[in-house]
Amino acid sequence: MTIALKTLLYRLADDEVIIGHRNTEWTGHGPILEEDIAFSSMAQDELGHAQIYYSLLHDLGEANPDQLAFLREAQAFQCAQFVELPRGDWAFSVARQFFYDAAESVRLAALSKSAYAPLAQAARKFAGEEKYHWLHAKTWITHLAQGTGESRARLEAGLKQAYPYALGLFETTAADAAIVSENLCAPEAELQTAWQALITPVLAEAGLALPAATPVYGGRAGQHTEHLTPLLNDMQLVFRMEPEAGW
Amino acid sequence: MKASAQITPSQILEQLEQVKDPEIPVVSIVELGLIADVQVDERSARVKITPTFAGCPAVEVMRAETEQRLRALGIEEVKVEITFDPPWDSNRISPEGRRKLKEFGLAPPKPYTGAVDLIQIAFVECPYCGSADTTMESAFGPTLCRAIHYCHACQQSFEQFKPV
């Protein structure tokens, strides 16, 4: 059970810590105060969830959560490339968050039934919090689509740029057969279908359609964009200066 | 110092009424429903805390204070754990807790059955004037557990403790 379980936990934790870090980049830079707060709060949730996924890994014999987040190199991360992309303009960040929150919503529902009880408990907890992220994302898709010509154009560009990478959230590797057979999580293909069913009506209501796209894979196998290393340099800088320091 | 053999779970809960949420210092962790389990025997006590939000930065403060308060009762071995089983939900807040939240100016979350839906999130009575003519401005507020609303009757912003 352990290898499949660890792989699954690394994916979950690494997605959360990286998108959480990206969202902190809006702290003090949001277009309006409410959104500055919203992205900062979502980042806080995501980093909190990452910490708990890393703790579950620590319980399975991996390094402690701080070491996992702050001492690994880019190629050891198993996050999708989607979460590494720079924050872009705010419409891109909204588009990314929309795809991501929908994916989390279906993934957490599946993980709530995981055969690994500590993961199922955490997922049930996180699902309640993620409702607010999904509500936020849906609201802003509608606002930006129905706002000005510029807000709509920027949103469309953001969705178009983010979508192929968002499909990469459902990438599989050799570990997936065991993840499914050990009832740790539902198959990625099944999650992707549920995800499409969640995002399509929201986009349709806003008069938006997604172009056909080829998924961008690689992240789950440790292949990353050129954006991950600079992000890690920022995120890990302070910890690496004095890894043994007490906080 | 009295022997811990005499200490009961209800005495422990009474003691933990002293531990307040540092982000909302008028309500105790007992009133917020954060105490998931209390076990005592002759020399030890074990308390489980189920946090409101997984990323809540106040959890460690409340955990440490809980430990300190239990030691103050003269218990030799104290263990305070964080759990998500059961996951905290806003229905765990006691009636007294709700009253105090409202007095503090935070609209208490309405009790619900089943799952939280959008209607429960968006429609809330103003804690200042009681009007239901309010709208949600943002699902995110100054702490993870609060949302920002606006009351059209008394024309004030207010916060709600989010239903979860």
**Residue-level pLDDT at B116:** 82
Rounded to the nearest angstrom, the minimum Cα separation between B5 and chain A is: 32
For chain A, the 3-state helix, strand and coil shares in percent, each to the nearest 5, are: 70, 0, 30
Half-sphere exposure of A82 (CA within 13 A, CB side): 31
Q: In this complex, do A41 and B116 lie within 8 Å of one another by their Cβ atoms? A: no
Q: In this complex, do B88 and A136 lie within 8 Å of one another by their Cβ atoms? A: no
Give the C-alpha separation, A66 to B83, whole Å: 20
* Tens-digit pLDDT profile for residues A47-56: 999 999 999 9
Half-sphere exposure of A12 (CA within 13 A, CB side): 31
Rounded to the nearest angstrom, the minimum Cα separation between B4 and chain A is: 32
Residue in A51, A155, A58, A49 with CA at minimum distance from that of residue A99: A155
Indicate the residue type of B77: E
Query: What does DSSP assign to residue B159?
Result: E
* Tens-digit pLDDT profile for residues B56-114: 889 999 999 999 999 999 999 999 999 999 999 999 999 999 999 999 999 999 888 88
pLDDT above 80: residue A232? yes
**Residue-level pLDDT at B5:** 55
Asked if the C-beta of A58 comes within 8 angstroms of chain B's C-beta atoms, the answer is: no
Angle of helix A2-24 relative to helix A33-59, nearest 10 degrees, comes to: 160
List the structure tokens of A150. Answer: 């510029």
Q: Which of A46, A47, A135 sits opposite B139 (nearest CB)?
A: A135
Indicate the residue type of A79: C
Give the pLDDT band (50/70/90) at residue B3.
very low
CB–CB of A107/A13 below 8 Å?
A: no
**Residue-level pLDDT at A244:** 87
CB–CB of B59/B49 below 8 Å?
A: yes
Q: What is the value of ipTM here, to two decimals?
A: 0.85
Compare all CA atoms of chain A with the CA of B82 and give the residue at the minimum distance.
A52
Phi, psi of A30 (to 5 degrees): -65, 155
List the structure tokens of A6. Answer: 């660890």
Indicate the residue type of A57: L
Q: In this complex, do A41 and B141 lie within 8 Å of one another by their Cβ atoms? A: yes
Give the C-alpha separation, A35 to A151, whole Å: 15
Asked if the C-beta of A124 comes within 8 angstroms of chain B's C-beta atoms, the answer is: yes
Q: Which of A47, A52, A128 sits opposite B164 (nearest CB)?
A: A128
Spell out the domains of chain A, with CATH numbers in brackets.
Answer: 2-241 (1.20.1260.10)
Interface mutation target, options B52, B121, B138, chain A, most CBs of A under 10 Å: B138
Give the pLDDT band (50/70/90) at residue A189.
very high
